[in-house]
């Protein structure tokens, strides 16, 4: 990768290339493709931050809750819902688990009756 491309990027090109190589389907990675993926990643991060700042109460700082809010509200960010879920309290999580277990028990009983 040439030095000019490295200076145009905020994220380290070598790290992006290493992440790209971690995929078993990827063979050789040209310097231009690594540069483009890096710039696209920087653009995506900038988009996330801008959207989170719009949703934030504090216009100087982005918190996890701001990111979780935009991920759940923007349809095109659905793929991040498992990575950036909204925070919930432990008691609420246990309550949700209990409801799931009860639902599974009811389904199992219904299956046995058939």
Per-residue pLDDT at 58: 82
Query: Is residue 2 pLDDT above 70, yes or no?
Result: no
Average pLDDT over residues 30-38: 90
Note the pTM of the prediction, 2 decimals.
Answer: 0.69
Identify the CATH number of the domain defined by range 3-113. Answer: 1.10.20.10
Measured at the CA of 77, the angle between CA 52 and CA 90, to 5 degrees, comes to: 75
How many Cβ atoms sit within 10 Å of the Cβ of residue 79? 8
- Taking every pair of Cα atoms in the chain, the longest distance, rounded to a whole number of angstroms, is 70
Domain boundaries, the chain: 3-113
Torsion from C-alpha of 21, 22, 24, 26, nearest 10 degrees: -20
pLDDT digits (tens, 9 = 90+) for 50-92: 999 988 888 888 889 889 999 999 999 999 999 998 888 888 8
């Amino acid at each position: 990768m040439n030095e000019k491309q490295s200076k145009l990027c905020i994220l380290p090109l070598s790290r992006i290339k290493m992440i790209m190589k971690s995929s078993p389907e990827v063979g050789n990675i040209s310097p231009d493709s690594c540069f483009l993926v890096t710039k696209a990643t920087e653009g995506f991060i900038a988009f996330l931050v801008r959207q989170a700042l719009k949703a934030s109460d504090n216009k100087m700082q982005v918190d996890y809750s701001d990111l979780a809010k935009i991920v759940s509200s923007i349809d095109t960010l659905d793929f991040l819902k498992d990575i950036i879920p909204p925070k919930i309290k432990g008691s609420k999580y246990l309550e949700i688990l209990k409801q799931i277990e009860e639902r599974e028990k009811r389904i199992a009983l219904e299956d046995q009756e058939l």
